[in-house]
Amino acid sequence: MKYKKKFLIIIPVYNEKNNIKPIVEKIFKKFTKKLSILFIDDNSIDGTRQEIFNLKTKYKNIFLIKRGSKLGIGSAHKCGLRWGYKKKYFIIITMDCDGTHDPSYLNRLIKPINKSEIVTTNRFIKKNALRGWSVWRIFLTSFRHNLIKFLLGIQYDSSGAFRCYDTRKVKLKDILEAKDNGYSFFWESIFILHKKNYKISEIPINLPSRLTGNSKMRIKDIFHALLYLFYVSFKKNK
């Protein structure tokens, strides 16, 4: 298979109008290599799509997949990965649009890929990396992180979306073995790739609170993720 295109950044969005332009401008300013950006929009109602169309007139390598409803963050990542593999990009990066994933880390995220196959980011290596977060949110995030490590036996910060795949080495079908279409997709996919003996490395990052707008995670998402984690852990131990 010939890989004619280099770098693709996948950014799922839902009602992120005010964050679109800052993230795009930072990416093209900080990351000088030839790249494309693919937005996956789950039927935003705040003008997100129009903001993307406006930026497409300036930046030619911006693409958009419009979906008819809110289908889940994990589903959006799967959709973007399928598109990226089909278009033969050999490096695919996934990140959030809320300003928490700083584009200044992009070069550092890609650098280890020659010796690894997946590079993820870790919010727990650096002290005080969770900047501007409430005590309650820090507690919940740390609790989830340690619970995943305990139940699944993986030491990575596996629940984050900021990561890099080498598509020449990582099979799409292996990523898509992750069944969850919500937030659990992130740790489930890392768990599966770890079991399949892919080389996974991490870089430390700071993770500030979002720039504008509100988090899309709901209480029911938290309960679903917790139940699904116990379900996967139970299946692992059978």
Q: What is the mean pLDDT of residues 223-237?
A: 83
Min mean pLDDT across 181-190, 210-219, 223-232 is at 210-219
* 194 within 8 A of 200, measured Cβ to Cβ: yes
* 50 within 8 A of 140, measured Cβ to Cβ: no
The whole-model pTM stands at 0.91
Sign of CA dihedral 179, 183, 185, 188: negative
Please report, for the chain, the start and end positions of each structural domain, with discontinuous segments joined by +: 5-237
CATH 3.90.550.10 fits 5-237, yes or no: yes
SS3 108: helix
User: Across-strand partners of 120?
Assistant: 163, 202
Name the band, by pLDDT with cuts 50, 70 and 90, for residue 215: low
Distance from C-alpha of 14 to C-alpha of 45, rounded to nearest angstrom: 8
SS3 90: strand
pLDDT of residue 1: 53
From start to end of 59-192, where are the E strands?
62-66, 89-94, 118-122, 130-131, 163-166
pLDDT of residue 157: 93
Question: What is the token pair recorded at 46?
Answer: 């705040």
pLDDT (tens digit per residue) in 65-94: 999 999 999 999 999 999 999 999 999 999
Comparing 3 with 159, the larger pLDDT belongs to 159
* 6 within 8 A of 41, measured Cβ to Cβ: no
Name the band, by pLDDT with cuts 50, 70 and 90, for residue 158: very high
